Amino acid sequence: MTYLTHIESRDGTRLDPGSPHSAPPAAGLRARYDLDRLRREVSTETITRGPATLWRYAALLPVAHPEQAITLDEGWTPLLSAPRIARALGMKQLLIKDEGRNPSGTFKDRGAAVAVSRYLELGVKTVAHNSSGNAGGSWSLYAARAGITCVNILPTDAQPASRQHCRASGQPTFLLDNWHDGGRLIAEACEQHGWLNICTLREPYRLEGKKTMGLEIAEQLGWRMPEAIVYPMGGGLGAIAIYKAFEELLQLGWIKGKPPRLYVTQYEGCSPLVKAWDEGRDECTPWGRIDIPPGGLKSPNPPGGRVVLELIRKHGGGAVSVTAEEALACVDELAREEGLFPCPESATTLAGVRKALARGWIATGEEVVLISTGSGLKSIPTLEAPRFPVITGSAELHA
């Protein structure tokens, strides 16, 4: 059962939800629901009794038959506290949404599960996108489960784990050296072959899947919002999705108050959003030479740049860049102090919170949620190689 009524574009045009739609991100295609009816028929208690997956929010998702969804039990990831790090930073508490628990190891599974399920209902046979890696791997696995095809273009340095997901699931995958060309190549191929272009923010349903991160954070906090969110930004889809969740929950009256301030982190070697924020612009200008570790933050011209800047202006917040060394040190800090093992992209949020505290953007008493978008297992080659002594007997064991 879905309460989906239509797809709406930024200029207010209503589109038929019974067909797939794909348009440049500026069109701002968003799924809209009959929230008045939903409020009458569904309650937070109904949600709470639902499955321990993102499908507990089926009423707020576009899939007509959630019981037939293409699912690997994604979502409902824990919101963990990081008490030692919080104490060291002088903070009352620090919360971490651990998205590394998802089936392919990142939050990309949320978008893939919901969108693949919906596109199967709409009869789509082939989808195509360029992905820095994690979405490619995730969509490949869900497409395989659905029996459809996902054409992937990944950068030549995409992490081996993502490349293996694409290979093992048998999905057509290509590597591209000049990453700035990826979006154009996919658009041309989709035009030529009639594939559905599912690149970041071109179609409305990936966002609906990722929206469940915001729904979960609110539910896990007892149906309320934190004071600040720190998000490692690539294209910006995840951040936009979290705020769409808060907006819908506010409209439903299931939560009250002010949405959190939004802080985004990027690597120094590709930080178009941070540059735009520092310069007071409304739009990102495309980043030139990309010099960052492989993985999710490789988005030189973020499709969601303008909307993320709007969110920061509307709700407060900021943007901060982090070096690769700082991020890698934060992976180790999270493992050493809290037993967590995030990917370096996720660890930029800890480096970011430290900078935000130093700048007085975040106060130590505030409730802050870091979005840990993926597992360190997706990024093994980027991490320092372990060098342990090889032993031959117990006599060589020295603590």
Ligand X SMILES: Cc1ncc(COP(=O)(O)O)c(C=O)c1O
Which residues here bind ligand X, judged by CB under 6 A? 106, 132, 134-135, 200, 232-238, 295-297, 299, 343, 345, 373-374
Which is nearer to ligand X, 2 or 97 (by Cβ)? 97
Best CA proximity match to 148, nearest among 177, 175, 128, 173? 128
Which is nearer to ligand X, 297 or 368 (by Cβ)? 297
Best CA proximity match to 152, nearest among 109, 197, 192? 197
Residue 92 DSSP SS3 = coil
The H or E element that residue 113 is part of is helix 108-121
Which is nearer to ligand X, 254 or 263 (by Cβ)? 263
- Give the Cα separation of 274 and 286 in Å (integer): 12
Helix, strand, coil percentages for the chain (3-state, nearest 5): 45, 15, 40
Query: At closest approach, how far in Å is the CB of 233 from ligand X?
Result: 5
Query: At closest approach, how far in Å is the CB of 166 from ligand X?
Result: 14
Query: At closest approach, how far in Å is the CB of 134 from ligand X?
Result: 3
Which is nearer to ligand X, 333 or 345 (by Cβ)? 345
How buried is residue 46: exposed, middle or buried, by Cβ count under 10 Å (0-12/13-18/19+)?
Answer: exposed
Cβ atoms within 10 A of the Cβ of 58, count?
23
Query: At closest approach, how far in Å is the CB of 234 from ligand X?
Result: 3
Query: At closest approach, how far in Å is the CB of 308 from ligand X?
Result: 8
Query: At closest approach, how far in Å is the CB of 12 from ligand X?
Result: 25
Contact 54, 26 (CB under 8 A): no
Which is nearer to ligand X, 217 or 233 (by Cβ)? 233
Query: At closest approach, how far in Å is the CB of 41 from ligand X?
Result: 31
Residue 398 DSSP SS3 = coil
Spell out a b/e string for 307-323, using b for 16 or more CB atoms within 10 Å of the CB, else e. Answer: bbbebbeebbbbbbbbe
Best CA proximity match to 303, nearest among 187, 397, 169? 187
Which is nearer to ligand X, 58 or 297 (by Cβ)? 297
Which is nearer to ligand X, 84 or 355 (by Cβ)? 355
Which is nearer to ligand X, 290 or 363 (by Cβ)? 290
Inter-CA distances, 344 with 70, 262, 360, Å: 29, 20, 24
Best CA proximity match to 81, nearest among 92, 100, 98, 96? 96
- Residue at shortest CB range from ligand X: 296
Query: At closest approach, how far in Å is the CB of 142 from ligand X?
Result: 15
Best CA proximity match to 268, nearest among 229, 314, 326, 309? 326
- Give the Cα separation of 153 and 128 in Å (integer): 8
Which is nearer to ligand X, 35 or 233 (by Cβ)? 233
Query: At closest approach, how far in Å is the CB of 108 from ligand X?
Result: 6
Inter-CA distances, 352 with 54, 83, 279, 376, Å: 28, 17, 19, 18
